[in-house]
């Protein structure tokens, strides 16, 4: 078993959440306790069991009440919309007040089977949305062959009164639908089908959804992921979907578990969200150091302005860590492909700490990278590169713009000499470290080819184009 498919990858700080399954269904009657035990053994820390009708919602609630780690959602599936009446709404409203209810659903539109007339499905969907709005609970939406109506209705409500939140479960729509849902603030949840061999379009969407909007689920007992396709599904198998998501996004299974789990905790308000910023955090095979949240720029695309998390790691610091604390957090640097001085902020604002810890890392046989905005000489009032020579294996420097005017517009630097200082830093870095790359963010106003040419004139061949809102 390789590292990526090893269940123990989730067993320490990282865990999984199955955000959508149907534990009340008869397929689990014979072995429900075993199903739950296997889920916990596979690193599934929370499960949301989702009602698909009134009876099913009551049963889901009962199961949730008998297990701390299980929560419930109350709703009527669009298939049964034709039977929905005033009494149904009353029952759902009562269930929504239960302490174990964390969402309204599943609800939505299914034009594939059309078990209920279209107009009736739409009306019942709207009743669920209104209940979600009244209770402040997130909405769990099912949409099959009904993209247009689903988006139109959600858009109406989101724009009429902000605050509606939710997830499109077992996503099977197109890229445009995914983008529109993300723009509305909705989450997108992937189930077993993303692992199927013929799901290349879905795989492309799973690779592209922003970190802070992706969830995973089993939809058990249905839709078992590969390699168990065709068997009854169960919450433990959510790990296969996590592993596929990791492979598609070029991250580790542990990264995928952390990212999707933090999103689940945030959306459903369950479990314990990390309260304090971490000072060292793994991404892929590297270890990143969060040494400061300060920066001399205010870039329009900076993710610090939009949230506190990167790849599921909480990075908002209450105080800046000391060199000793960072060394303790690193442990053995050789365990990682590289130790990356980073933020949430500009690491060279703490030059002394960078130098001390980088020296320690090198002595222990590790590799050092510094991710910087290139204003280190400016903020420290001297040429700091000779002090870093021998301590740094690679620099990743944010060039961000092809000229000073664009840089000022996009990065709003505190210092007016920032762009000139950045260019000088890049030329100096080439002489100081064996590996230098510059980065630009794909955003309006940035001329990537002009940036590449500028980097070339400064002696840097390696330019990386970063996607907007994607970090790490």
Summarize as ranges the residues that interact with ligand SF4 (CB under 6 A).
295, 297-299, 302, 304, 343, 345-346, 373, 398, 411
Question: Of the two residues 260 and 297, which places its CB atom closer to ligand SF4 in the complex?
Answer: 297
Question: Of the two residues 190 and 309, which places its CB atom closer to ligand SF4 in the complex?
Answer: 309
Question: Of the two residues 312 and 413, which places its CB atom closer to ligand SF4 in the complex?
Answer: 413
Question: Of the two residues 329 and 412, which places its CB atom closer to ligand SF4 in the complex?
Answer: 412
Q: Within 13 Å of residue 76, how many CA atoms lie on the same side as its CB? A: 29
Picking from 387, 381, 397, the residue whose alpha carbon sits closest to that of residue 451 is 397
Question: Of the two residues 247 and 439, which places its CB atom closer to ligand SF4 in the complex?
Answer: 439
Provide, rounded to whole angstroms, the least separation between the CB of residue 289 and ligand SF4: 14
Question: Of the two residues 24 and 346, which places its CB atom closer to ligand SF4 in the complex?
Answer: 346
Over its C-alpha atoms, the chain yields an Rg (Å, rounded) of: 25
Provide, rounded to whole angstroms, the least separation between the CB of residue 346 and ligand SF4: 5
Question: Tokens for 331?
Answer: 């442990």
Question: Of the two residues 100 and 313, which places its CB atom closer to ligand SF4 in the complex?
Answer: 313
Provide, rounded to whole angstroms, the least separation between the CB of residue 301 and ligand SF4: 7
Phi, psi of 189 (to 5 degrees): -110, 135
CA distance 167 to 56: 20
Provide, rounded to whole angstroms, the least separation between the CB of residue 126 and ligand SF4: 41
Q: What angle do CA 226, 228, 233 make, to 5 degrees?
A: 110
Question: Of the two residues 151 and 410, which places its CB atom closer to ligand SF4 in the complex?
Answer: 410
Question: Of the two residues 146 and 454, which places its CB atom closer to ligand SF4 in the complex?
Answer: 454
- Omega before 227 within 30 of 0, i.e. cis: yes
CA distance 341 to 291: 7
Picking from 19, 9, 11, the residue whose alpha carbon sits closest to that of residue 235 is 19
Q: Residue 443: CB partners within 8 Å, gap ≥ 6?
A: 300, 301, 410, 468
Q: Within 13 Å of residue 449, how many CA atoms lie on the same side as its CB? A: 0
Question: Of the two residues 233 and 371, which places its CB atom closer to ligand SF4 in the complex?
Answer: 371
Provide, rounded to whole angstroms, the least separation between the CB of residue 307 and ligand SF4: 12
Sign of torsion, CA 396 401 403 406? negative
Q: Residue 214: CB partners within 8 Å, gap ≥ 6?
A: 187, 188, 189, 190, 206, 245, 259, 260, 263
Provide, rounded to whole angstroms, the least separation between the CB of residue 433 and ligand SF4: 19
Sign of torsion, CA 299 309 269 267? positive
Phi-psi region of 252 (alpha: psi -120 to 50; beta: other; left: phi over 0): beta
Q: Residue 391: CB partners within 8 Å, gap ≥ 6?
A: 355, 358, 359, 362, 368
Provide, rounded to whole angstroms, the least separation between the CB of residue 418 and ligand SF4: 10
Question: Tokens for 460?
Answer: 């840097």
Provide, rounded to whole angstroms, the least separation between the CB of residue 280 and ligand SF4: 18
Provide, rounded to whole angstroms, the least separation between the CB of residue 373 and ligand SF4: 4
Provide, rounded to whole angstroms, the least separation between the CB of residue 122 and ligand SF4: 43
């Amino acid at each position: 078993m390789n590292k990526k498919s090893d269940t123990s990858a989730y067993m320490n700080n990282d865990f999984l959440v199955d955000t959508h399954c149907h534990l009340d269904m008869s397929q689990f009657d014979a072995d429900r306790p075993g199903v739950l035990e296997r889920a916990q053994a596979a690193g599934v820390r929370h499960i949301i069991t989702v009602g698909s009708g009134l009876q099913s919602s009551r049963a889901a609630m009962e199961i949730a009440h008998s297990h701390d780690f299980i929560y419930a959602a109350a709703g009527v599936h669009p298939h049964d919309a034709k039977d929905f009446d005033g009494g149904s709404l009353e029952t759902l409203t009562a269930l929504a007040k239960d302490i174990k209810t964390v969402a309204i659903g599943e609800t939505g539109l299914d034009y594939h089977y059309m078990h209920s007339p279209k107009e009736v499905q739409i009306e019942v969907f709207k009743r669920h949305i209104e209940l979600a709005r009244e209770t402040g609970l997130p909405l769990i939406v099912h949409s099959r062959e009904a993209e247009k109506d689903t988006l139109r209705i959600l858009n109406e409500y989101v724009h009429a009164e902000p605050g509606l939140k939710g997830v499109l479960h077992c996503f099977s729509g197109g890229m445009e639908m995914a983008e529109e849902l993300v723009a509305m603030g909705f989450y997108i949840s992937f189930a077993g089908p993303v692992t199927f061999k013929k799901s290349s379009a879905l795989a492309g969407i799973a690779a592209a959804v922003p970190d802070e909007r992706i969830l995973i689920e089993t939809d058990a007992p249905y839709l078992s992921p590969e390699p168990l396709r065709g068997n009854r599904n169960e919450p433990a198998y959510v790990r296969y979907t996590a592993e596929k998501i990791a492979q598609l996004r070029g991250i580790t299974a542990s990264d995928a578990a952390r990212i999707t789990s933090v999103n689940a905790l945030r959306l459903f308000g369950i479990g314990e969200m990390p309260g304090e910023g971490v000072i060292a955090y793994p991404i892929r095979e590297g270890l990143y150091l969060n040494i400061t949240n300060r920066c001399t720029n205010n870039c329009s695309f900076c993710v610090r302005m939009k949230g506190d998390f990167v790849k599921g790691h909480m990075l908002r610091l209450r105080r800046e860590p000391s060199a000793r604390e960072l060394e303790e957090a690193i442990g053995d640097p050789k365990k990682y492909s590289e130790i990356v001085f980073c933020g949430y902020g500009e690491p060279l604002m703490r030059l002394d700490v960078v130098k001390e810890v980088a020296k320690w890392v090198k002595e222990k046989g590790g590799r050092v990278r510094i991710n910087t905005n290139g204003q280190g000489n400016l903020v420290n009032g001297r040429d700091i590169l000779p002090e870093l020579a021998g301590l740094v294996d690679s620099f990743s420097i944010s060039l961000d713009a092809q000229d000073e005017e664009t840089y000022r517009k996009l990065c709003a630097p505190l210092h007016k000499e920032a762009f000139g200082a950045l260019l000088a830093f890049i030329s100096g870095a080439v002489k100081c470290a064996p590996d230098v790359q510059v980065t630009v963010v794909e955003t309006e106003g940035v001329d990537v080819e002009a940036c590449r040419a500028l980097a070339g004139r400064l002696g840097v061949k390696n330019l990386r184009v970063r996607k907007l809102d994607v970090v790490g």
